[in-house]
Amino acid sequence: MPIEIPEVVIDRLPLYYRLLSRLESEGRAVVSSQELGAELGVTPAQIRKDLSYFGRFGKQGRGYSVHRLAAELRQILGLDQRWRVAVIGIGRLGRAIASYPGFEGQGFDIIWLYDASPTLIGSEIEGREVRDISQLEGDLRADPVDIGIVAVPGEVAQDVVDTLVDAHVGAILNYTPNRVQAPPEVELRHINPVLFLQSMTYHLKRVRGV
């Protein structure tokens, strides 16, 4: 793809896709940028601009074909294929992620769960066995995954990420409080409630004038 799409636009695409899937399941044929905008809290102009990066959707005044736009987004986002996921760290947070109801039917298959705790290793969560984290490296070499979700204690996060990177895992979601490093070709995101709250208080301060 020749044009560099801004990251903030890419982050909105799953929201468009989710809304369009819902409209599609409700039997809707056409949707306007006004309606998409109202549902998503984005201006219609922003919607048109976001979708124009991908070049081929709809015409102003006529609305978007729900089916065609959903199918295109599915393809653009890679949701027309299956992705193999490993969750490393099965404490409260890892277990909550492994049982998250939203994964169903979205093309993400949680293949493996890992933990270091002897009380967890060998137990079953949502029908999957928790494996010993010492087996992670060998398992990934024998049978690679696409995505790693890291929910171990912060102090071992970088070690786990290094193992995932060495095993060519292409995308890593880091739920630990520690910031970790990965080479630029690896897609790495940090999901840290404190950082979300800190950018929210920026807005709170302004709204409240405190």
Long-range contacts from 8-16, C-beta under 8 angstroms, 24+ separation: 9/50, 9/53, 12/40, 12/42, 12/50, 13/50, 13/73, 13/76, 13/77, 14/77, 15/40, 16/40, 16/47, 16/50, 16/51, 16/69, 16/73
Residue 179 is a binding residue for a second copy (CB under 8 A): yes
200 near a second copy (CB under 8 A): yes
Q: In the complex with a second copy, which residue's Cβ is closer, 62 or 206?
A: 206
173 contacts a second copy (rule: CB under 8 A): yes
Q: Does 34 bind a second copy (CB under 8 A)?
A: no
CB of 75 or CB of 135, closer to a second copy: 75
Token reading at 108: 């993400």
Residue written as tokens 């080479």? Answer: 183
Joined together, the tokens standing for residue 185 give: 């070709």
Which residue ranges make up the site for a second copy (CB under 8 A)? 1, 7-8, 10-11, 13-15, 17-18, 41, 76-79, 81, 83, 85, 91-93, 95-97, 99-103, 106-108, 146-147, 149, 154, 170-171, 173, 177, 179, 181, 184-185, 187, 189, 191-208, 210
